[in-house]
Structure 1
Amino acid sequence: MRVLAAMSGGVDSAVAAARAVDAGHDVVGVHLALSRMPGTLRTGSRGCCTIEDSMDARRVCDKLGIPFYVWDFSDRFKEDVVDNFIDEYAQGRTPNPCMRCNEKIKFSALLEKAVALGFDAVCTGHYAKLVEDPDGNVELHRAADWAKDQSYVLGVLTHEQLKHSMFPLAETPTKAEVRAEAEERGFSIAKKPDSHDICFIPDGDTRGWLEERIDLEEGEIKDTSGEVLGTHRGARAFTVGQRKGLSIGRPASDGKPRFVLEIRPKTNEVVVGSKEMLAVDEIRGIRETWAGLPAPEAQRFDAGTDQPGATSESFDILAQVRAHADPVPAVAHLEIGNVDGEPSRELVVRLEEPLRGVAPGQTVVIYQGTRVLGQATINRAYSLSRPDIAGH
């Protein structure tokens, strides 16, 4: 096969490309230039897509004896990832830019260009597994190393995209083995630290970065009864579950810390309460997609009614709301609901174990066993027993 290896400049994508070469594929390496003003050097493990990263990727390709190119996707990245990140926060939601990057850049823009140029697949260093069912349909599953499993951030991939994807690290037991292999192959990046944080906010100061890009106005901090506890510099820069930066100035009656329970952008209010109040047992997601074929219950619902209040059959799942969180048992169904006064299709997830700090804008990825079924963007998350929060 003709394979386009997406080379970040890190050790995972380097070993993935090397394994694709070893498998006999015709491999070409490409580094995505995602920043209009890339830094010259990384700072520790923060950030990515710097000039140093592109140079590291080039050295790996030279070592492997494969062609190497740099493709400028900075305009698409700014529009689909960075601007989306700002817009979501401006509306009081907490987005996941890695999900958007995988959805819009690495497995949409990149894959579309690769297929147009005659490539059969895009190879990446993600830790995830592709499995064919008895009918030849591709499924996305967790990787062998659950500690490094990245199937969550790939939950946005569609059936068609999975058919053109390749994840050579799927069965690798540990990251240590990947680094050892890189050293054996003579890659200078064998001990290069992993990148963390948001790549376009390399200093890690998300609030400070947002304050320069979102109009923030002073507003009120309230408890769930409506009592005003203090003021804030702008509700849109907060996120559900946040503890730091509230600056209320007086302790709660029980002496315990307060956490952000809800952000109300229309009234510029931040609602706070105890850690226990963060627990939610129902999540409603919009814009659901399926990683492979949809769940049978969803397929049957697609052929049914679209009337408000209509629901699909329920199906058992595991729900995960963060990249490295533990999944929890849940029951899901599709429902024609009402979002902001308009009919909307929702993925409703009822959790058997409450989760804390679930924020609108995050992604809920649903599994059955190790298989990723699909995902949805969280529109609402609440406790069914707490109408004071659920009602807003």
Structure 2
Amino acid sequence: MRVAVGMSGGVDSSVTALLMKEKGHEVIGVTLRFHTIEACEVEGTHNVCCSPKDVQDAARVSQKLGIPHLTFDWERIFKERVIDYFVEEYSRGRTPNPCAVCNREVKTGYFARYLRAVADIDRLATGHYARIEEDPSFGRVIKRGTDRKRDQSYFLALVRREDLDLLEFPLGNMTKEEVRELARSYGLEVADKRDSQEVCFLMGKSPGEYLEKIVGLREGEIRHVSGKTLGRHSGIYNFTIGQRRGLGISYSKPLYVVDIDASTNTVFVGEEEYLYNDKLYVRELNLHVPMERWEDVSAQIRYRHSPVRVESVKRTSDGYEVKFREEVRGITPGQVVAFYSGDILLGGGIIEAYKE
């Protein structure tokens, strides 16, 4: 089987290439270059992937493994499909998940289709900590990674069902330390390379700092849910639902961001009780398993969020209503909701709202 391995220059993708070669596949290392500037270091932490330095590391690992390595300059595609989306969503008062969108639109699902079309590649293997397996009931599905602390299936909820046939995730049954040990045993120089910790194109900046450079200061009011004005802000892009710190206001009780109205450029704050809701709404659902076959469903509304049991998913005039069996804290428009049955990823969508 001809397998392309998406190589970011880190230990995960390097071991992925190693494992694919050990299985006897014809392996080609491929790297997508999204940035033409060097990666930055902030207080010693590597914050960017896919930089020129990472491309060099991927090429060196490929050479050591004895596999060809190709680099694709996709800076324009990445900007149009991920960065522009990120800016637009924050401008609407939402908190996007660019990594999940990138997996669908650029580096995972779309890239696998691209390689199949232009290079007759059978599969694209990536370093995601998730499993992709043949289920006797549902066919090819994504499952949570064995290492729950590293599980990245949530970020794959938007990947199209038809793309699952083109993907491999060899690290799904491994822990991070097992991956590093394997890299050390084969003498890969990236064995102890730091992981990327931030959204790659932010270059160490917060979303607010990054967006201020692009859209400028956009001052507006901070209001309590009762209607009282408590202060002013320099841009709604500095806030997200559930945020408590950095509000720049004083009040007799702890306050949290509970809503953002882009139409009036207003940030609404309130007591913690206002963060809890038992419903959310999505406009579209990306299904890996047909909905009529969903059973014992739980949902995850953020990457580090504990799954919550779902009572119902109902079709509405313009999307879907998801009702939980308990109230959930901090449902955030723009984030991804991923649905599971046990370890199986059923699908997902982008949260449109948490109230009618």
Q: Name the TM-score, length of structure 2 as normaliser.
A: 0.95
Q: Report how far residue 263 of structure 1 moved.
A: 0.2
Equivalences for residues 255-270 of structure 1 within 5 A: 256-270=253-267
- Distance in 2, matches of 1:175 and 1:365, equals 23
**Which runs of structure 2 are paired with 1:182-201 in the superposition (5 Å)?**
182-201=183-202
Q: Structure 2: how far apart are the matches of 1:101 and 1:282? A: 26
How do residues 1-392 of structure 1 correspond to structure 2 at under 5 angstroms? 1-35=1-35, 37-39=36-38, 42-43=41-42, 44-116=45-117, 117-134=119-136, 137-172=139-174, 174-248=175-249, 250-252=250-252, 256-291=253-288, 293-296=289-292, 316-337=296-317, 344-346=318-320, 348-381=321-354, 390=355
Q: Is the 8 A contact 1:8 1:53 kept in 2?
A: yes
Separation in 2 of the partners of 1:107 and 1:176? 24
> What secondary structure sits across from 1:85 in the alignment?
helix
| Structure 1 CA distance for aligned equivalents of residues 98 and 278 of structure 2 | 25
How far 1:336 moved relative to its partner? 2.1
Per the alignment, residue 386 of structure 1 pairs with none
**Change in 2 beyond 3 A, CA 1:226/1:136:** closer
1:157·1:290 contact (CA, 8 Å) conserved in 2?
no
The SS at the match of 1:139 is strand
Mean CA deviation greater in 59-68 or 319-328? 319-328
1:195-251 alpha-carbon deviations (Å, 9 max, x no partner): 111100121322111112225432221111111111212224321112223212x32
Give the drift of 1:77: 0.3
Q: Is the 8 A contact 1:46 1:204 kept in 2?
A: no
Separation in structure 1 between the aligned mates of residue 212 and residue 273 of structure 2, nearest angstrom: 29
> Do the aligned residues in 2 keep the contact of 1:216 with 1:235 (CA within 8 Å)?
no
SS of the residue 2:297 aligns to: strand
Asked if 1 retains the 8 angstrom alpha-carbon contact of 2:40 and 2:203, the reply is no
SS state of the match for residue 197, structure 2? Answer: coil
Distance 1:42 1:70, change over 3 A: farther
Query: Bigger shift: 22-31 or 48-57?
Result: 48-57
- Per-residue CA deviation, residues 103-143 of structure 1 (Å, 9 max, x unaligned), is 10012431122101100000000011112122672011111
Give aligned-pair identity as a percent: 39
Secondary structure (helix, strand or coil) at the match of 1:287 reads coil
Structure 2: which 5+ residue stretches go unaligned?
Answer: none
CA distance in structure 2 between the aligned counterparts of 1:361 and 1:297, rounded to whole angstroms: 26
Range with greater deviation from structure 2 (204-213 or 162-171): 204-213
Equivalent pair of 1:316/1:332 in contact (CA under 8 Å): no
The question of whether the paired residues in 2 share the 8 Å contact of 1:127 and 1:149 is answered with yes
Cα distance in 2 for partners of 1:121, 1:242 equals 41
Separation (CA, whole Å) in 1 of partners of 2:33 and 2:343: 33
CA distance in 1, matches of 2:314, 2:115: 34
Contact 2:39 2:49 in 1 (8 A): no
> For the Cα contact (< 8 Å) 1:223–1:272, is it kept in 2?
yes
**Amino acid of the residue matched to residue 327 of structure 2?**
P
SS of match in other structure, 1:58:
helix
Residue 220 of structure 1: SS of its match in structure 2? strand
SS of the equivalent of 2:106 reads helix
- 2:283·2:350 contact (CA, 8 Å) conserved in 1? yes
- Quote the Cα distance in structure 1 between the aligned partners of 2:143 and 2:222: 42
Q: 1:68 to 1:41 in 2, by over 3 A?
A: farther
- Using the TM superposition, give the Cα deviation of residue 73 of structure 1 relative to its aligned residue in structure 2, in angstroms: 1.0
Count, aligned residues:
353
8 Å CA contact retained: 2:39, 2:48: no
Between stretches 109-118 and 5-14, larger displacement belongs to: 109-118
**One-letter amino acid of the structure 2 residue matched with residue 125 of structure 1:** G
Aligned equivalents of 2:137, 2:206: Cα separation in 1: 48
Which one-letter code corresponds to 2:272 in the other structure?
Answer: K
Deviation at 1:274, TM superposition (A): 1.6
2:143 and 2:172 map into 1 onto residues whose CA distance is 9
Q: What's the offset of the Cα at 1:331?
A: 2.0
CA distance, structure 1, for counterparts of residue 218 and residue 55 of structure 2 = 40
CA drift of 1:271 comes to 0.7
Corresponding residue SS for 1:106: coil
Q: What is the SS of the residue equivalent to 1:200? A: helix
Residue identity in the other structure for 2:151: D
CA distance, structure 1, for counterparts of residue 60 and residue 29 of structure 2: 11
What value does the CA root-mean-square deviation take over the aligned residues? 1.7
